[in-house]
Structure formats: structure tokens, C-alpha cells
Amino acid sequence: MKHTTFSGFSLSEVLIATAIIGIIAAITIPTVVASYQKQTMLSLLQKTYLELGENLMILSTEAYNKTFYQSLLSLQGRSIANTAGKFFMGDADEKGYYSVIKDCETTAQPCFADTYANLNGTKNEAFSCSEGYNVLIKSGTAMCIIPADGGNPAEVHVDVNGPEGPNIGGRDMFTFYIYDDYSIDEKDIGPDKIKDNTAKDAREALYTKSCKVSTIGEGCFGKLLNDNWKMNY
């Protein structure tokens, strides 16, 4: 007769293996979660950017495009509601360019979060966009457009997932600008810098100066454009 002996793990071996797995999980899971969050925020921003670009392209093809542009994205003595608000919402005569699920008008909250931190974790500042028109669009993204005025381009604030966290500039909150040729870019990086091929260096300089210390993500958007939509920061 042959006797077969079965050997298993001792309790101490199981406990040691469990502890090792726990340590590995504690190290890797936060990194995986952070990477997933960054990719999610990036995808939402890219979607918002493309949708805004498409809407501006439609706007630019209107038969009376320059006048229409001024009436929607430039104050020229008009009200915020009749410029940026009309671009989002439309009115009795014109259809808006977005499907809006919450109209916050000139008050940022509750479309946006109350406060935003910066990437360095050194600031947490209240957010207000009273000079612009605030909405929450169908995708769940919060947008505020401050109409162009006095030679300044229209300014856009975007929180890609609305008031939900992480509420950090450069993660889910970004700022960029709309220029007269309907291009979308960073502050002071308009068509002239595109034509003379200095835009990329200017974006990099603004990123170094502002991205990680800005609670509204100033300088971060240009870095994404430079790096082909990779969040390498």
C-alpha cells in the first residue's frame, strides 16, 4: 500500500503572503488610480476642446460671421447674457450651440466647485466667474466664457467633470482663450505666434511659469497641445 501525503501552507506562510500582497497593493493601487483619473480627465478635456472647436467652426461659416462673432463672444457694449449666454443658450430667434443641463448665468456655483487647488498643493482658492456666463453642459462639463473686450480674446474656464473632484487646476480645471480667427490656445498665444512658429516655445514658457501653481490650470492646456494630448506633468 502506498500512502500519499498532502502538504499545504502553514498559517504563518499564508499570513506572510497576505502581508506581501497587501504591501504591493498599497504601493501600486494609488498609482493605478491616479493614472486612470488623469487619463479620464484628459479624455473629457479633449472632448470639450473638440466640441468647442466644432461649434466655433459652425459659427465662423455663418453668412454674417464677423457680426455674429461679435454678438456672441465679444461684448462691444452688450450684456454677458446677450453674448456668451447667447452662444450657450440661444434666444427666441437663434438656437444655442450647446445642450445645457444647468444654467448658472453669471454665478459659477453650482456649475463649478466652490474652490480649486493647484497641482503643487500649495493653494486652495475660491472660484468665481462673474464676468462670464456659466453653464453645465450635457456631458457634465462646466464651462464659463468671459466675452472678448477691449482687445482681449474671449476667456474660457472649463471643469471637465463639473463640481465633482478632484477640483485641481491642470487636472479637471483648465483655462484657455478664443481668438478672432476662432482658434483656441493659451493666454497671449494667438494667430500671430502660430504664423511665426513661436507658439510652441511660448506655451512651454507659460507652462513652466504657471501650470503647477495655478488653481485654474493656466499654462497646462498649452502643454497638452505641445505634447500631443499626453498629460506628462
Of 73, 49, 54, 47, the residue nearest 149 (C-alpha): 73
Answer yes or no: is 2 within a domain. Answer: no
User: Based on the structure, what is the number of domains in the chain?
Assistant: 1
Answer yes or no: is 233 within a domain. Answer: no
Answer yes or no: is 1 within a domain. Answer: no
pTM of the model: 0.84
Report the pLDDT value the prediction gives residue 16, as an integer from 0 to 100: 79
Cell of 2: 502506498
Which is more confident, 18 or 2?
A: 18
Could you report the per-residue pLDDT of 88-101, keeping only the tens digit for each?
A: 999 888 889 999 99
Answer yes or no: is 6 within a domain. Answer: no
Residue 162, judged by CB atoms within 10 A of its CB (0-12, 13-18, 19+), counts as buried
Helix (H) / strand (E) containing 209: helix 199-210
Cell of 37: 483619473
Answer yes or no: is 190 within a domain. Answer: yes
Mean pLDDT of the chain: 89
Answer yes or no: is 119 within a domain. Answer: yes
Domain span holding position 25: 11-226
Answer yes or no: is 46 within a domain. Answer: yes
Q: What is the mean pLDDT of residues 126-151?
A: 96
Answer yes or no: is 175 within a domain. Answer: yes
